[in-house]
Structure 1
Amino acid sequence: MLRPSAFLFTVAAALLLSAAPAAAQEPAAKPAQGSPAKDNPAKDTAAKDTAAKDTAAKDSPLVSTEWLEKNLDAKNLRIVEVSVEPGVFERGHIPNAQNVAWHTDLVETVSRDIAGPEKFTALARRLGIDRDTTVVLYGDNNNWFAAWGAWVFAQYGLTDTVKLLDGGRKKWEAEKRPLDTRTAEVPASTFTAQAPSGKLRARFADVLAVAKKERDEQILDIRSPDEFSGKIIAPAGIQELAIRAGHIPGSVNIPWAKAVNPDGTLKSKEELKALYAAAGIDGSKPIITSCRIGERSSHSWFVLSRILGYDARNYDGSWTEYGNAVGVPVVNLAGTVWGGK
C-alpha cells in the first residue's frame, strides 16, 4: 500500500504525462488582431493602394478627384477654388474649400501686377497656408485661373506643395461628387512672403528680344488660331483689347485646349511631349508662354514646367501689352485692322 506522499507524487506524474501530448498537438497561436499579413489580406492590399496613391499625390503636380474626395479632411491640406464666374463658389463648392478671387486676391488692383509680398502674405495667412502645407487649387473655365494661382504661388516659393485638381470643377461636378455651401474655417498661418522670384515670369523686354532674334528662346502662343492669325483681336465679349491684331514674330501656336482631354483632365505625359515636340518645342530651349492676359498661358506654363519639367516662363503681359506697344514688330497674317471701337 502506497503511503499518502507517494500516492500524491504518482498522481501528479500521471497528470503531467497525460497533458504532454495535448500540449504538443495544440495549434500555433493565432496572429495578433490587425496583423495585415495574415489576418486580412484584402485590407492590406487596400492599405498599400492608399499609400501608393498618397505617394503619387505627394510627388505629382496633379491630384485626381477620387484622391481629393478621400482626403477632404486631411489636417495639412488646403483646398482653394479660383474661379472666374461670379457666384459659382457660393452656389456650391468642394467641401472645405476656400475662395480666392483671381482679379483682386492674386493681383494688385491699381497697377497691373501680381499680388505683392504684403498682399500675398495676408492671403496665405488667411488661407492657413504655410510652406509645408499641401494646397489643391481648382476652378471653373478649364482650371485657367487655378493654374494662374499656381503660377503666382510658385513665384513665392510654393511650388511642389501646390497641386491642380485634374479636371477641375467640371470633372468634380460631372462625377456628382459632394458640394457644400459652408465657408471653411481654418487657423491662420504664419507665412511671410519674400520678394517674388523673377525666374518664372517673362517681361516685355524678354519677348521683344526674342521677336528681334536677339535671344534664343521659344515663344508658345496658346491662343486660338483666329487670334494668332490676326483674324480677331480677342474672343467675343472681351473688354481688354489690343490696338493691333496678330502675334509676336517667331512664336508658334499650340492652343491650350490641345493639352486637355474631353473630361477636362490633362493628357498623359507622353502625349503632351509629342504634342509640343511636333511644333519644335522639346525642352532644349527656354520657353515663354503667352496668350491675351496671361491666364490661358499659365495653364500651358503649368503643363510645360510642372508636368514636363521644361524651363518655362509665363508672359502675363501677353497680347494686351505687346499688341498695344508702339513700334514693335508684329505678324498679322489676316491683315485685320483695328476699327477704333
Structure 2
Amino acid sequence: MSEYAHPEVLVDVNWVEDHLQDPRVRLIEADEDVLLYEIGHVPGAVKLDWNVDVQNPLSRDFVDKEGFEQLLSRWGISNDTTVVLYGDKNNWYAAYAFWLFKLYGHEDLRILNGGRAAWEHAGKAYSKEVPTYERTHYQAQEENDQIRAFRDQVLVELKDSDLRLVDVRSPGEYSGELLHMPNYPQEGAQRAGHIPGAKNIPWATGAREDGTFKSADELRKLYEDKGITPENKVVTYCRIGERGAYSWFILTQLLGFTDVRNYDGSWTEWGSLVRSPIER
C-alpha cells in the first residue's frame, strides 16, 4: 500500500488481528446494513449506527461538537487513540465515518482495507459480545469547514473555472433516468439530474471486486480521464454524502489531493430546492 499518498490510513487483516488486545486501538464498525454488527463483528469493535449515533434529531445535520465528544468518550476513545473503521459494501459507510471524524479533527484514523469482506475471506472469527470501555474525556476540534461544502457555496463556485464537481452516483442517477437509488426513496429529490458541469465517476469504480481499493495508478486515471487533477478545487457529492465521502477519501488520502470538499447535502438537497440549476 506504499503507492498511496498516505499509506498509513490503510491497514490489513493481519494488522487488525495483531492489535485486537491493544488498548491504544479502537475498532469501529460502520455498516450500511445496521443489523450486521449483531450477527457478528470483529472482536472488540463498537457499533456506529448512522441512523442514531451521529445524526442531529431535529435538523438535517450531524451531531455537534459536544455530541461528537460524548459519543467518543462513551466508546473509551481518547484524542491519541488509533481509530480503525471498517464496514460492509466496500467500506462505504466506514469512509463516511472517516470523513466525519476528520471533520472534528481526530488525528489517527485508519480503514481496514476490504472491510468486513476482507475479515471474512481471511477466515477470521466474529464475535457477538458487545464490549464496554472505561469512559474517557474526549475533546474534539471545531468543525473543519475546509473539507465540507454547502449548497450556497457550490452555487457561487459554479462560475469558478477551477472547480471540478464529481458526481459519484450511478450513471442512471446522474443522467436523470433515476430519481433515487432503488430501495432508498427517502433519499430522493423533487427533480432528477445532476449539478451543471459535474463529471460522473461512480464511487464503486474505486474498488476492486474484493472490496479493497484499486491501485493508485488506476484511481488516478479514473479522475485524469475526466480532467480532474490535484491542482483543481474538487467537490464530491451523491445523495446524502456517504458515497461522496468515499470518493473524498480516495482523492485526499490515497491520491493526495489537497483541496477536496464533500457536499453532504448532495442531491437530496440540491434536487429539491427552488431554482437550483440542473442538467440532464
TM-score, structure 1 as length reference: 0.77
Are residues 59 and 128 of structure 1, via their aligned partners in 2, closer, same or farther at CA, if it must alter by over 3 Å? farther
- Number of equivalences: 275
Shift, 1:214, TM fit: 4.2
Structure 1 unaligned blocks of 5 or more: 1-52, 333-341
Shift, 1:127, TM fit: 1.4
Structure with the higher fraction of residues in helix conformation: 1
In structure 1, the partner of 2:170 is 224
Aligned partners of 2:26 and 2:82 also within 8 Å? yes
Aligned partners of 2:89 and 2:211 also within 8 Å? no
Question: Which amino acid counterpart does residue 47 of structure 2 have in structure 1?
Answer: N
Query: RCO (CA 8 Å, sep 6+): is it higher in 1 or 2?
Result: 2
In structure 2, the partner of 1:176 is 123
Moved more, 247-256 or 304-313: 304-313
In structure 2, the partner of 1:46 is none
In structure 2, the partner of 1:248 is 195
Aligned partners of 1:103 and 1:109 also within 8 Å? no
Runs of 4+ in 1 over 6 A off after TM superposition: none
- Match of 1:170, SS? helix
Question: Which amino acid counterpart does residue 237 of structure 1 have in structure 2?
Answer: N
Question: Which amino acid counterpart does residue 112 of structure 2 have in structure 1?
Answer: L
In structure 2, the partner of 1:87 is 35
Instruction: Indicate yes or no: 2:204 matched with 1:257.
Output: yes
Q: Deviation digits for residues 259-288 of structure 1, max 9, x if unmatched? A: 100000001112211221111111111110
TM-score, structure 2 as length reference: 0.94
- Match of 2:33, SS? coil
In structure 1, the partner of 2:239 is 292
Shift, 1:59, TM fit: 5.6
Shift, 1:216, TM fit: 3.0
**C-alpha separation in 2, matches of 1:127 and 1:217:** 39
Q: Deviation digits for residues 171-220 of structure 1, max 9, x if unmatched? A: 21122211001012222221122421111100001221233x14631110
- Match of 1:313, SS? strand
Instruction: Indicate yes or no: 2:110 matched with 1:163.
Output: yes
**C-alpha separation in 2, matches of 1:236 and 1:227:** 10
Q: Deviation digits for residues 299-321 of structure 1, max 9, x if unmatched? A: 00111111112121100000000
Instruction: Indicate yes or no: 2:115 matched with 1:188.
Output: no
Instruction: Indicate yes or no: 2:84 matched with 1:141.
Output: no
Aligned partners of 2:85 and 2:111 also within 8 Å? yes
**C-alpha separation in 1, matches of 2:14 and 2:157:** 42
Percent identity between the two aligned chains: 41
- Match of 1:158, SS? coil
Instruction: Indicate yes or no: 2:10 matched with 1:71.
Output: no
Q: What is the aligned-residue RMSD (CA, Å)?
A: 1.7
**C-alpha separation in 2, matches of 1:153 and 1:215:** 30
Larger radius of gyration: 1
**C-alpha separation in 1, matches of 2:78 and 2:143:** 16
In structure 2, the partner of 1:314 is 262
Instruction: Indicate yes or no: 2:251 matched with 1:304.
Output: yes
